[in-house]
Amino acid sequence: MYSFEQLKIFITVVETGSFSGAARKLKRAQSGVSQAISNLEIAINQDLFTRNKNVPTLTSSGKALLPVAYSILDQQNYFDQKVEALSKHYEHELIIAIDESLNHSGFVQIISILADEYPITSFEIISASTYDIESLVREGKAQVGIVYADGELKADMDFFLLGQARFLTIASPQHELAKLPVVQSSDLTSYRQCAHRSAEQKELWFSYSISAKVWYANTHQTLIDLVINGIGWALVPELAVKQHIKQGDVVVLPVTHEHDGWLTSVGCLISRSQAGGPVLDRLKLLLQKNVLAKDSWKSKGAITHS
């Protein structure tokens, strides 16, 4: 029967490209690495590598089994983290990263509840763009990330949906687009766009730049400020721009393909690189019960075009 340790060595040989590289990374003797691979091949009755010129190259069986080995070790790691979490009393620190346009008073209400329940726990709230938050969670620099969900499964973190957010296409009341009774996609591409982009220069899949002339910002509030100052048009969260619409600072453009705005999912990422505990479990429960203000992520009101 094969072991988790053998699978780990198998993966390390692939990642380092040699038995010697795997031995250095794992701080083991090279002979021990070679023997572990041989024992694994015997246990599963499959050759994983060809060894021509002492360079290990994956066989067809090795290529087929590699993703399965990754999956097994991911699940083992997840199991170990759960065991560790169950043995802890509760965390002394919880780091939450939230998309800057979703960081509102409704979310703070959740934190205030946890402050009373876990007075010793220190909370850190980080505002960033969705893609930067995903990196923070993946790297273990935040236990929780609240983001716009792209629908892709994340093999290295847990995920659950929270609701939906509405995005609106806006411009200044003085902008040429604001004078049109109906705005086509071709109209938008003719004018400067203010587009959202993360620090890693990644754009949200539903609000990427389509115009030849673009100004970028990594916060939606900056996009709104650019629009107010007549720089161009932008697609921004209704929650963030609602007050500016009421004040007449911006208008919602009657875009033909977004009659009621663009709805996108909001979700929560949970790190697997750190063991959780009661505080994290309590936060997840509060989020899943949608303690946040209902109109924050589930706005269903009609859109009024100016």
Rounded to whole angstroms, the Cα distance separating 213 from 136 reads 31
Q: Please give the biggest Cα pair distance in the chain.
A: 76
pLDDT of residue 143: 92
Rounded to whole angstroms, the Cα distance separating 120 from 12 reads 40
In a domain, 273, yes or no: yes
| Same domain (yes/no): 81, 133 | no
pLDDT of residue 105: 62
| Same domain (yes/no): 247, 171 | yes
| Same domain (yes/no): 186, 248 | yes
pLDDT of residue 87: 62
| Same domain (yes/no): 53, 99 | no
Q: Which domain holds residue 71?
A: 4-87
pLDDT of residue 190: 94
pLDDT in tens, 29-76: 999 999 999 999 999 999 999 977 678 899 999 999 999 999 999 888
Out of 38, 63, 87, pick the residue that ends a domain.
Answer: 87
Out of 34, 65, 87, pick the residue that ends a domain.
Answer: 87
Rounded to whole angstroms, the Cα distance separating 70 from 4 reads 10
Task: For residue 198, give the CATH number of its domain.
Answer: 3.40.190.290
pLDDT in tens, 208-250: 899 999 999 999 999 999 999 999 999 999 989 999 999 999 9
In a domain, 145, yes or no: yes
In a domain, 257, yes or no: yes
pTM, rounded to two decimals: 0.64
pLDDT in tens, 165-197: 899 999 999 999 999 999 999 999 999 999 999
| Same domain (yes/no): 81, 35 | yes
Q: What is the CA radius of gyration of the chain?
A: 25
| Same domain (yes/no): 154, 273 | yes
**Which band of pLDDT confidence, cut at 50, 70 and 90, is reported for residue 89?**
low
Q: Is the pLDDT of residue 291 over 80?
A: no
Rounded to whole angstroms, the Cα distance separating 204 from 219 reads 12
In DSSP notation, 135-187 reads HHHHTTS-SEEEEE--S---TTEEEEEEEEEEEEEEE-TTSGGGG-SSB-HHH
| Same domain (yes/no): 231, 169 | yes
| Contact present, 36 and 26 (Cβ < 8 Å) | no
Rounded to whole angstroms, the Cα distance separating 72 from 67 reads 9
Domain count for the chain, please give it.
Answer: 3
Task: For residue 60, give the CATH number of its domain.
Answer: 1.10.10.10
Tell me the two tokens of residue 109: 């209400």
| Same domain (yes/no): 170, 257 | yes
53 conformational bin, left if phi > 0, alpha if psi -120 to 50, beta if neither: left
Task: For residue 276, give the CATH number of its domain.
Answer: 3.40.190.10
**Which band of pLDDT confidence, cut at 50, 70 and 90, is reported for residue 103?**
confident
Tell me the two tokens of residue 192: 């400067």
| Same domain (yes/no): 118, 130 | yes
Rounded to whole angstroms, the Cα distance separating 252 from 224 reads 12
